[in-house]
């Protein structure tokens, strides 16, 4: 059914071997989890519960802010615990999904028992018993779908809907960074999806704060020959940068979209491109942030985080970031042609 699964069959059996002796499992996502992270954790929790009849708790740090992402959790009734409320020592198995231990965008202090991820590999994590990195995959949900199929676990409509939405959002409906495996998993899940739940997730009610942020974003967006930069100031939720960057890339002529903002004291940056051959998103953000914070992602979408920026330093830092971005993305002579979006 899933031809692509054959390539990785051994990895799944290895994973099952690593976790089978444990009594209770903690599944951790990256901070401010997106649908792919939530769905991956949910799929693994389902595997744990049905295959081994054991407890599995999903935990995260940060905020799930985007209305669609909130709806995913609410509509499918996915239990997600705040990491800081848990005692990690209570669990004899810890799994990290949709990120890597060395990525620093998760709350774990010591190495987990397993890491499953599809981001560009930062470092081989040899101290971790089970590592499954597939940077070529469009979604971590695809990997988890293969795990469930190979483990012989039946999917509930809720699990199928979550995984389907995870693949759909991370690959933008299979339009970017996808492999045959993503297409196959998408097609496998499609008939199992609860259409009504999916519609509620994709078209949720939006809070008034969404429209206010959207208005501010339009006002504070600058255009430089195919580079769209949105300076969002204070964010009411950290994941707004991703949503705005995603939207701005849809502007006609846009090849790169960057949204920058502050949530509490921390800077958040999101980068989207449809020209990864000109500038790889993950490399660009890493280069920009340097050792000021953490950064990572894929060739077409990436994010960065700089903690504890004093308010009086914000403008200077944004100026620096924009300067670096433009010198990486545009030839020297085009840099000064700037206009406002609205
Ligand atoms: Mn992902």
CA 38 to ligand 1 centroid distance, Å: 9
CATH 3.40.50.300, applies to 209-340: no
What integer pLDDT is reported at residue 212 of this predicted model?
A: 92
CA of 40 to the centre of ligand 1 (A): 9
**200-222 per-position pLDDT tens digit:** 999 999 989 889 999 999 999 99
C-beta neighbour count of 150 within 10 angstroms = 19
Q: How far is the CA of 270 from the centre of ligand 1 (A)?
A: 14
- Cα(170) to centroid of ligand 1, in Å? 6
Task: Name the 3-class secondary structure at 246.
Answer: helix
Give the distance (Å) from ligand 1 centre to CA of residue 182: 12
Residue 282 CA to ligand 1 center (angstroms) comes to 13
Which distant-in-sequence residues (6+ apart) come within 8 Å of 135 by Cβ? 118, 119, 120, 121, 298
Residue 335 has what pLDDT? 57
For ligand 1, the distance from its centroid to the CA atom of residue 140, given in whole angstroms, is 5
Neighbours of 102 (CB within 10 A): 14
For residue 258, report the distance from its CA to the centre of ligand 1, in Å: 19
Distance 332 CA to ligand 1 centre (A): 34
Nearest to 19 by CA among 83, 97, 114: 114
What is the CA(234)–ligand 1 centre distance, in A?
25
Measured in Å, residue 48 CA sits from the centre of ligand 1 at: 21
Spacing, Cα 37 to ligand 1 middle (Å): 6
Here the tokens at position 251 are 């502007």
Residue 146's pLDDT is what? 96
Residue 337, pLDDT score:
75
pLDDT value at residue 334: 61
Distance 27 CA to ligand 1 centre (A): 15
Alpha carbon of 189 to ligand 1 centroid (Å): 17
Q: 101: CA distance to ligand 1 center in Å?
A: 15
The reported pTM is 0.89
What is the tens place of the pLDDT at every residue in 159-194?
Answer: 999 999 999 999 999 988 789 999 999 999 999 999
Domain 3-202: homologous superfamily in CATH? inorganic pyrophosphatase (n-terminal core) (3.90.1640.10)
Cβ within 8 Å of residue 155, ≥6 positions away: 46, 148, 163, 189, 192
Question: So where are the chain's domains?
Answer: 3-202, 209-340
Q: How far is the CA of 64 from the centre of ligand 1 (A)?
A: 15
pLDDT at 104: 84
CA dihedral over 237, 161, 174, 1, signed as positive or negative? positive
Distance 97 CA to ligand 1 centre (A): 9
How far, in Å, from the CA of 13 to the mean position of ligand 1?
22
User: Rounded to the nearest whole angstrom, what is the distance from the C-alpha of residue 63 to the centroid of ligand 1?
Assistant: 16
Residue 339 CA to ligand 1 center (angstroms) comes to: 33
Give the pLDDT of residue 297.
86
DSSP track, 8-51 = GHHHHHHHHHHHTT-SEEEEE--SS--HHHHHHHHHHHHHHHHH
Structure tokens at 104: 């620093």
Q: What is the pLDDT of residue 93?
A: 96
CA distances from 78 to 35, 258, 319, 335 (A): 12, 31, 41, 46
> What integer pLDDT is reported at residue 275 of this predicted model?
93
Low-confidence ranges of the chain (pLDDT < 50): none
Q: How far is the CA of 114 from the centre of ligand 1 (A)?
A: 16
The string of DSSP letters for 176-199 reads SS--HHHHHHHHHHGGGS-HHHHH
Rounded CA gap, 301 and 295, in Å? 11
Q: How far is the CA of 337 from the centre of ligand 1 (A)?
A: 35
Strand partners, 130: 114
pLDDT (0 to 100) of residue 79: 97
């Amino acid at each position: 059914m899933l031809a692509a699964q054959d390539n990785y069959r051994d990895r799944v059996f290895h994973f099952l071997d690593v976790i089978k002796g444990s009594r209770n499992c903690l599944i951790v996502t990256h901070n401010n989890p997106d649908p792919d992270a939530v769905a991956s954790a949910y799929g693994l929790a389902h595997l744990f519960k049905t295959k081994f009849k054991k407890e599995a708790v999903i935990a995260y740090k940060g905020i799930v802010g985007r209305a669609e992402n909130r709806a995913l959790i609410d509509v499918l009734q996915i239990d997600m615990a705040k990491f800081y409320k848990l005692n990690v020592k209570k669990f004899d198995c810890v799994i990290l999904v949709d990120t890597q231990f060395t990525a620093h965008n998760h709350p774990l202090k010591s190495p987990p028992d397993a890491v499953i991820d599809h981001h560009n590999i930062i470092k081989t994590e040899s101290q971790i018993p089970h590592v499954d990195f597939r940077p070529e995959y469009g979604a971590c949900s695809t990997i988890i779908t293969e795990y469930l199929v190979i483990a012989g676990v039946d999917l509930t409509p809720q699990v199928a809907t979550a995984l389907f939405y995870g693949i759909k959002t991370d690959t933008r409906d299979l339009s970017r960074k996808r492999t045959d495996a993503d297409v196959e998993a998408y097609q496998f899940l499609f008939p199992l999806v609860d259409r009504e739940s999916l519609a509620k997730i994709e078209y949720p009610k939006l809070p008034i704060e969404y429209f206010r942020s959207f208005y501010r974003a339009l006002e504070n967006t600058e255009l430089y020959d195919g580079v769209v930069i949105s300076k969002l100031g204070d964010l009411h939720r950290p994941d707004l940068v991703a949503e705005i960057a995603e939207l701005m890339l849809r502007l006609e002529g846009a090849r790169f979209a960057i949204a920058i903002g502050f949530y509490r004291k921390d800077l958040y940056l999101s980068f989207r491109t449809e020209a990864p051959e000109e500038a790889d998103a993950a490399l660009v953000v890493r280069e920009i942030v340097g050792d000021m914070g953490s950064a990572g992602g894929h060739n077409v979408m990436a994010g960065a985080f700089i903690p504890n920026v004093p308010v009086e330093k914000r403008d200077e830092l944004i100026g620096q970031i924009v300067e670096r971005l433009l010198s990486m993305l545009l030839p020297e002579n085009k840099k000064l042609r700037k206009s406002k979006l609205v």
